[in-house]
Amino acid sequence: MTTSASSRSDVLPPPSERYTLLGWFRKNLFGSWLDALLTLIALAFAVAILVPTVRWATTSARWEVIPNNVELFMFGSYPRDQVWRLWLCLWLLALVTGMLWGVYVRRRSFMSLFLIALPVLGMLFTFASGVWVHYAAMIVAGLAGWALARWRPRLMSSVALVGTLLFFPLVILIIRGFSEESFLPGVATNLWGGLMLSLLISVVGIVFSFPFGVLLALGRQSNLPAVRTLSILYIEIIRGVPLITLLFMGQVMLNFFLPSGIVVDRVIRAMVAVVMFAAAYLAENVRGGLQAIPKGQYEAADAVGLSGFHKMTFIILPQALRAVIPVLVGQFIGLFKDTTLVALVGLLDLLGIARGVLANPAWIGTQLEVYLFLAFIYWIFSYAMSYASRRLEVALGVGER
Amino acid sequence: MTTTSSEQHAVPFWRDERYLQVLAQILVVAIIAGTLYYLANNLVTALAAQNIPIGFDFLRLTAGFDIGESSIAYSRASTNAQALLVGVLNTLRVSFLGIIFSTILGAIVGVARLSNNWLVNKLAGIYVEILRNIPLLVFLIFLYSAAFVKLPRITEALELPGPIYLTNRGFFVPWAEPGDGWSTYRWVLWVGLLVAIVVAWVLRRQGQRTGRMPLILLWAPLAFVVVALLGWFIVPGQPLVSSIPVLEGRNFTGGNGLTPEFMAVLLGLVVYTSAFIAEVVRAGIQAVSKGQREAATALGLSGFQTLRLVILPQAQRVIIPPLTSQYLNLTKNSSLAVAAGYPDVYAIGRTIQNQSGRSIEIIALMMIVYLAFSLGTSLFMNWYNKRIRLVER
């Protein structure tokens, strides 16, 4: 942890043993008879799983179910003539990511990795014609963001942060649209679906739960007994019940709680439940950040004569929130995986669409193909995000100050 | 009264922190109470408008639906309350078994991730990285609808040694059923348990006195097995009869049948949670500083002794708190059983809600059940956590 990279590189590594291939095998696979036995068992296990899987995937699997339904999987029944709005969101994402990368990671090798990963991810979105234009635009946007950040690092670091914060509400606005006559005609939430809906629910969950979560975390730390008790009650009750019961409650009861005449649709109801759920977990994560702040910071703020509000907004929260950014990314990944539960209350997210496709007589019996594809998509996204969060953690220097 | 106090402090009451604190709390409570009142008022109005009564009397009504599997007597004619109880017991069953098996599997994978054997190490790493990054629900549905339902039909059952039969209607495994000597033999087992506890206690005392801790986890179960074996030969009659599944017509008789729903949920929960437990175990073992292992080796302890006497007792303290939260997650995740058609408390609650329209009561009951499970698990684990702390110091 404390050894920095520069001081480590000054010291030559100890001379390595001279490895031959056989020597490597003996050391790492057949060290003792027990080791050899383990190796053989593991090898047999891997072969027993891999061989039939590969044989199935290359011969009898009906992979055509994926390309034939890819638009459904990606954005459900979103109006096809409005799909360019989703692409616009992806361009913006590329721009913001490029800027963040330029500001925080800086290394060119990672940038190229990102440029390869982006079209691959984009490829998942649609195989329709004209798609390459969008990939090119995304690459240009990413490069432009990166170049901007390298050109004026100091200015762009704040631009990138503000851009990241504005990005999520902006995406919701672009996808939701406004009135019928406007440039962006409104698209009702019941038309949202597929991977887009899964991503949006998790984005809404994190973004809208953020203020509540921070307030709850502060409330739990507060020395006012009434505030503290209420916060603890909320957090512990929500964390003690499964998300599915909250989603169920949102679906059947939310409209009862609203004044008569106001009816919200299923997607909004699910989003409300997800926000309630995420707020409790976010509060606990932020509390972890608050507790990591040394007591001296609080005392120093008191000593300078800052009021409680100023102490929090200028001294404590900026440090605490910075420390929990990687944890929040982790929570976002978890939430992204948890959004699959909305399929159980009848929403058409990625999983809901998959179930719909499987109910189509043309695709009966393709459960393996479809669910493997789903698992692959979720895996790619979660893994990519956790990789990025690990980089971010290093870049932000969390735990080093 | 207020005038004298403000004169004493020379601070007006609106800047006096004690007043402000009380005032802020009253304000917060008032806002929250007001919001809750507003919501509750809307709720009552809406329910009154739709003529839905509130109350728990519907629990005494006849349920009128079948449940796939139940550990207590249940039929269509039972009450809603009994149906819910079946659900609670089913949730408990799958969570309890899930916690035990996922701990065992997770510990194995966690240790495998630290193995010096390159292949074992990498395989365990792949296992963890794949499972941790896909949603449990997708995994569960995949297991159920792409694997278990696609098993051969009952007449063409897949036979494994044992004999264990795998079919799309469930797994049929050999089982032991109580024979004519069971009523006496039961007492022998209780005595065996008692003996095992006494042995564990005596060994522990001896270990504390001499400083050489014997292998309690080996000797105490051994004592139980010895008593059980002795009883087997002493007790007249046959205590247990083995029962082997046999295909008769279109169904199996004998043995024990496990439904594909139960197996899918259990396997899904175990495999998924074990990946997380593996990470917890690995982190716990890695948290023990390298010097401890080196010191143990320098003292001449063997590999096994190092693990048992030096590494594990210290790793345990790091492992227990995150392990507790994994257990809680598993219990809550068991509510996803509904996706595979396993009748847990959530699935049955939803059925009753569909039939009676009593959403509020059902949701309240479900939440209370899960809160009770969560509270129970964390109380037990906190107790255990405290105990290992006290013993070690």
Residues of A in contact with B132 (CB under 8 A): 382
Q: Looking at residue B56, what is its pLDDT?
A: 82
Helices (H) and strands (E) in chain B, counts: 13, 8
**Interchain CB distance below 8 Å, B29 and A39:** no
Classify residue B79 by its DSSP letter.
B
**Dihedral of alpha carbons B73, B76, B78, B83, sign:** positive
| A-proximal residues of B, 330-349, CB under 8 Å | 332-333, 335-336, 338-339, 346
**A28 in reach of chain B (CB within 8 A):** yes
**B225 in reach of chain A (CB within 8 A):** no
CA distance A294 to chain B (A): 23
Residue A126's nearest CA partner among A196, A200, A197, A186 is: A196
Q: Looking at residue A106, what is its pLDDT?
A: 64
Q: Looking at residue A116, what is its pLDDT?
A: 64
Residues B256-266 pLDDT 10s: 778 888 989 99
Report how far residue B343's alpha carbon sits from residue B361's, in angstroms, rounded to the nearest whole number: 19
**Interchain CB distance below 8 Å, A379 and B32:** no
What confidence category does residue B106 fall into, taking pLDDT thresholds of 50, 70 and 90? very high
Residue B280, pLDDT above cutoff 90: yes
pTM of the model: 0.84
Cα A178–chain centre separation: 27
Domain ranges of chain A: 79-186
**Interchain CB distance below 8 Å, A38 and B120:** yes
**A52 in reach of chain B (CB within 8 A):** no
Q: Looking at residue B393, what is its pLDDT?
A: 41
- Largest CA-CA distance found in chain A, in angstroms, rounded: 79
Residue B170's nearest CA partner among B254, B252, B78, B278 is: B252
In this structure, the strands spanning B251-253 and B246-248 are antiparallel
Residues A191-217 pLDDT 10s: 888 888 998 898 889 888 999 999 999
Report how far residue B42's alpha carbon sits from residue B26's, in angstroms, rounded to the nearest whole number: 24
Regions of chain A short of the pLDDT cut 50? 1-6, 399-401
CA distance B375 to chain A (A): 8
Lowest mean pLDDT among A111-115, B132-136, B138-142, B385-389: A111-115
DSSP string over B28-50 = HHHHHHHHHHHHHHHHHHHHHHT
Report how far residue B336's alpha carbon sits from residue B320's, in angstroms, rounded to the nearest whole number: 25
Residues of A in contact with B25 (CB under 8 A): 224-227
Residues of B in contact with A260 (CB under 8 A): 42, 45-46, 49
Residues of B in contact with A249 (CB under 8 A): 359, 363
Residue B176, SS3 per DSSP: strand
CA distance A252 to chain B (A): 7
CA distance A153 to chain B (A): 34
Domain ranges of chain B: 2-49, 80-174+244-392, 179-236
- Say if residue B152 is preceded by a cis peptide, omega within 30 of 0: no
Report how far residue B131's alpha carbon sits from residue B142's, in angstroms, rounded to the nearest whole number: 13
Q: Which conformational region is residue B91 in: left (phi greater than 0), alpha (psi within -120 to 50 degrees), or beta?
A: alpha
Pick among 3.30.1640.10, 3.30.390.30, 3.60.70.12, 1.10.3720.10: CATH of B80-174+244-392:
1.10.3720.10
Q: Which of A35, A227, A259 sits opposite B42 (nearest CB)?
A: A259
**A227 in reach of chain B (CB within 8 A):** yes
Residue B390, pLDDT above cutoff 60: no
Specify the DSSP element, H or E, that contains B251.
Answer: strand B251-253
Nearest CA in chain B to A36: B117
CA distance B332 to chain A (A): 5
Residue B53 CB neighbour total at 10 angstroms = 11
Mutate to test the interface with A, among B21, B113, B134 (most CBs of A within 10 A): B134
Residues of B in contact with A308 (CB under 8 A): none
Count the alpha carbons within 13 Å of A23 in the hemisphere toward its beta carbon. Answer: 5
Q: Which residue has the higher pLDDT, B116 or B352?
A: B352
Token output for B43? 């709720």
pLDDT above 70 covers what percent of chain B? 96
Q: What is the pLDDT averaged over residues B30-51?
A: 88
Q: What is the pLDDT averaged over residues B202-221?
A: 83
Q: Which of A227, A249, A340 sits opposite B25 (nearest CB)?
A: A227
Token output for A250? 């949102």
**Interchain CB distance below 8 Å, A258 and B42:** yes
Classify residue A12 by its DSSP letter.
P
Nearest CA in chain B to A369: B146
Between chain A and chain B, the number of residue pairs with CB atoms below 8 A apart is 152
Nearest CA in chain A to B139: A375
Q: Which residue has the higher pLDDT, A351 or B152?
A: A351
The contacts of residue A191 (CB under 8 Å, 6+ apart) are A76, A77, A78, A79
- ipTM for the whole complex: 0.83
**B289 in reach of chain A (CB within 8 A):** no
Residue B241, SS3 per DSSP: strand
Q: Looking at residue A7, what is its pLDDT?
A: 53
Q: What is the pLDDT averaged over residues B383-392?
A: 68
Edge-to-edge strand order for the sheet containing B170-173?
B158-160, B164-167, B170-173, B256-258
Q: Looking at residue B109, what is its pLDDT?
A: 93
Report how far residue B328's alpha carbon sits from residue B99's, in angstroms, rounded to the nearest whole number: 9
Count the alpha carbons within 13 Å of B298 in the hemisphere toward its beta carbon. Answer: 6
Q: Which residue has the tokens 């179930």?
A: A355
What confidence category does residue B354 fall into, taking pLDDT thresholds of 50, 70 and 90? confident
Q: Looking at residue A3, what is its pLDDT?
A: 46
Most confident by average pLDDT, A229-238, B63-72, B140-149, B177-186: A229-238
**B371 in reach of chain A (CB within 8 A):** yes
Helices (H), A243-316: 243-257, 266-292, 295-304, 308-310
Q: Which of B24, B142, B350 sits opposite A224 (nearest CB)?
A: B24
Nearest CA in chain A to B37: A257
Are the C-beta atoms of B240 and B188 separated by less than 8 Å? no
Report how far residue A283's alpha carbon sits from residue A314's, in angstroms, rounded to the nearest whole number: 19
Report how far residue B87's alpha carbon sits from residue B343's, in angstroms, rounded to the nearest whole number: 6
